[in-house]
Structure 1
Amino acid sequence: MQSNAPASFKRPFYLRWPFGLAVAVMIAYGVAFAMHWDDRAALWVKEGFESTAERSESVWLPDYTVDIDAKPLPEMADYEASDLTYNPSTRTLFAVMGKQPFLTELNLDGDVLRNIPLNGWANPEGVTVMDGGYLAITDERLHDLTVVKVDAATTALNHADFPSHDLGASQNGNKGYEAVVWDASKQRLVIGEERPPRLYEWKSNGQGQLTGEKTPLPSDSLDLRNLSALGIDPRTGHLLALSADSNMLLELDEQGEQVSFMTLLGGFNGLQHTIPRAEGVAMDDQGTLYMVSEPALFYRFTKG
C-alpha cells in the first residue's frame, strides 16, 4: 500500500547552518586580517597594561576627542586635500592640495588664510614645515622631494626655482612616496611610501640642504593597509602614522614600536561620522591634533 505522507524536505547543503556559519567565520576572518583588527586587538590589550607614567610620556591617542568635526574647506571640494603640517613660528597650518596643486594656509580653527599655487608640481601629496620658513613637498607622480621657502609675502611657488631630490622608483608605481615629516630632534626628514607602508629617513640641516641619501627605517610595526601621511609630536618625538584605508592613526615611539592608536570610524573619539578618507595629520606644540580628509574636510582633536 502506497503512503500518502509527504516526503521530508531536505535543504540543499549550502543552506544548512554549519556551512553558513563557516562561510561567515571565513568572511569575518578575512575582513579582520585585511583591516589588521588582530593587530589592533593586541595593541588594545597592551594599552590596558600601560601605567599612568608611561601614558604621560606618550601622545596616548585614546584620550583624544574631536572638537571640530568635518569642517568644509570652502570652495575646495574638487582639489583633494592631501596633507597637513604645523608651522610653530606662525602658529598656522599648511595643507597641500594634490588634484590642483597649491598650498593653503589655515589658522588653527581651519579657516583659510591664503592659497599659494604650486606651479610645476604634478601631484603633491606630502608637506612638512622645517626650519627658518623652509617646507619640504613630496610629489607622488614626479617621485621627488622639493625644499621651498615660504614667507608672508609668498604668492606662488615654481618647482624649477628650488632644489629637487629624486626619491627613486617605488615598489608600487601608483602608490609611491606620499608622506613626509620633519623630525627636528634628529635633524632628519622621515619619508613614507604608501603601499606597502615603508619608512625612510634623509638627514638635513633643516634649511634646505639634504645630506647623503635616503635610507630605510624599520617599518615592521606599520600594521596598516596603506600609509597616507606622517606627523610628529614635537614634545616626545613620537611619529604619527595615518592610514586612510585602515581608518586608523597609529603612534610609534622612537624605536618604531607601536604605542597607541585611534580609530577614525564614526562613534569613536567623538566623531559623528567616519572620516571619509584621512590624508593629512599634524600636531602642534601644545599636543592638539589636526587632520584633513578628502575631498576637503578639516578636523581638530584635543586631549581630554
Structure 2
Amino acid sequence: MPVLPSPLLRPRRLALLSLLLLLALALDYLQWHKRAYFWIKEQGFSLVERQASIWLPDYRAVLRGKPLAGLEDDETSGLTYHPGRDTLFTVTGKHPQLVELSLDGEVLRRIRLEGFADPEGVELVADGRLAIIDERRHTLTSFHLADDAQSIDARNYPAFDLGFADAGNKGFEGIAWDSRRQRVLLGKERGPMGLFSLPFPGEDGAPGTLQPLPMGNLFVRDISSLTHDVRTGHSLVLSDESRLLLELDEDGEPVSFISLAGGRNGLLEGIEQAEGVTMDADGNIYIVGEPNLLYVFKRRAGA
C-alpha cells in the first residue's frame, strides 16, 4: 500500500515552490544569467580587442557619491562634458535648472530652465550648443549658452518633436553626440526600450528623420542615459533599474560592462538611481545619481 505524504509536508513543499518561483522571477528581472554568460564571454577578449574598446572592467570608482551642494531637494538627471570649459553640465527636474559642475563635483552655477516640463537629458552637440530632452513633452531643444546666462526659455528656441507621444514617463532620457557622423544618439527608457539616431537639428530646428539603431542582446531593464566615445566609436548605456554600465560597439553589440552595486568596482555603496553618464577627454567616466550625487570612475593604473 503506497505511503501518502504527511499533510505537514504540503505547506513546506508549497513554501519551497514559492521560493523557487520568486528566485526565478528575480533572476529574470535582474537578468543575472545573461550577465554571467557575457562575463564568461568577456574573458575571451584579446588584449588588442580590449585596447580598441573602452573596456569597463579596468575602471574603479575614485569619487563615491559626492553630494552636489544646493541641490538636496532636487532630482539631477543627464550629464555631459564640456571640453571648452573642462566642466560638466546636468539638469534637474523637480525645479528645472541647468547646472554647471567642476569635475570634482563643485556647483559652479545654476541656470533656470523656463518652458521645460521635465528635462531629463543634456548633451553638448555641434557648434558648442547644448541640447536638452524634455521627456514629458518628448522634445529636443538646442541653444547656445552665454557665459552670463541666468535663464534659458525653451519657447525662444525651435523644438524637435521626438514622437512617441503616448510614452508618458517612459520616453527619451538618454542623449549622446556622435561627432564623427554629426548625429545625435537617443535612448528611449523602456516600454519598449530603444536606441535611435537623429541628424543634428540646425538653427532652424529642421533635422533629418529619427532612425532606429540596432541593439544586440542588451541585458538591461531600462536606458537612463547615454554617452559616446569618439576614440573607439563605442557608446556607454547606463541602466538605473539594472545598476549596470554597458559598453556597446557600433553595431549595438555589448563589449564590456561593470556593475554599479555596492562592493563592486571601487564602490562602497551601490548607486541607487543612476541617471546620467559622460566621459571627459582623458577617458574618465562621470555618473550622476538622484537625488544629487556625483561619482567618478578612472582607469586603473597600468590597465
Using structure 1 for the length normalisation, give the TM-score. 0.92
* Structure 1 unaligned spans of 5+: 1-8
Q: 1:51 to 1:155 in 2, by over 3 A?
A: same
CA deviations on 1:6-54 (whole Å, 9 max, x unpaired) are xxx86241214xx544433322221111112122111101100001111
Q: 1:171 to 1:218 in 2, by over 3 A?
A: farther
- Contact 2:140 / 2:160 at 8 angstroms: preserved in 1? yes
Matched AA of 1:162? Y
Counterpart pick for 1:100 among 91, 95, 102: 95
Q: 1:209 to 1:52 in 2, by over 3 A?
A: farther
Q: Measure, in 1, the Cα distance between the counterparts of 2:217 and 2:180.
A: 21
Q: Measure, in 2, the Cα distance between the counterparts of 1:234 and 1:292.
A: 21
Q: Measure, in 2, the Cα distance between the counterparts of 1:131 and 1:211.
A: 13
Q: Measure, in 2, the Cα distance between the counterparts of 1:250 and 1:132.
A: 28
- Contact 1:72 / 1:298 at 8 angstroms: preserved in 2? yes
Q: Which one has a bigger Cα radius of gyration?
A: 1
Q: Measure, in 1, the Cα distance between the counterparts of 2:217 and 2:141.
A: 28
Q: Measure, in 2, the Cα distance between the counterparts of 1:162 and 1:205.
A: 11
Counterpart pick for 2:242 among 229, 242, 246: 246
How high is the sequence identity, in percent, across the aligned residues? Answer: 44
Q: Does 1:214 align with 2:206?
A: no
Structure 1 position 218, deviation (Å): 1.4
* Structure 2 unaligned spans of 5+: 1-5
Q: 1:161 to 1:207 in 2, by over 3 A?
A: closer
SS in 1 for 2:168: coil
SS in 1 for 2:19: helix
Q: Does 1:152 align with 2:147?
A: yes
Counterpart pick for 1:293 among 274, 289, 298: 289
Q: Measure, in 2, the Cα distance between the counterparts of 1:223 and 1:193.
A: 15
Q: Does 1:174 align with 2:169?
A: yes
Q: Does 1:271 align with 2:275?
A: no
Counterpart pick for 2:11 among 14, 30, 34: 14
- Contact 1:187 / 1:206 at 8 angstroms: preserved in 2? no
Give the corresponding residue for 2:51: 56
Q: Measure, in 2, the Cα distance between the counterparts of 1:49 and 1:148.
A: 45
Give the corresponding residue for 1:137: 132
Count of residues paired in the alignment: 295
- Contact 2:228 / 2:235 at 8 angstroms: preserved in 1? yes
Matched AA of 2:12? L
Q: Measure, in 2, the Cα distance between the counterparts of 1:170 and 1:14.
A: 49
Give the corresponding residue for 1:256: 252
Q: Does 1:164 align with 2:167?
A: no
CA deviations on 1:52-107 (whole Å, 9 max, x unpaired) are 11111111111111111010001212210011001111111001111111111011
SS in 1 for 2:105: coil
Matched AA of 1:283? M
Q: 1:62 to 1:53 in 2, by over 3 A?
A: same
- Contact 1:85 / 1:129 at 8 angstroms: preserved in 2? yes
CA deviations on 1:207-244 (whole Å, 9 max, x unpaired) are 77653211111134333111101111232121111111
CA deviations on 1:126-181 (whole Å, 9 max, x unpaired) are 11001332011100111100011113222211101111001112563221111111
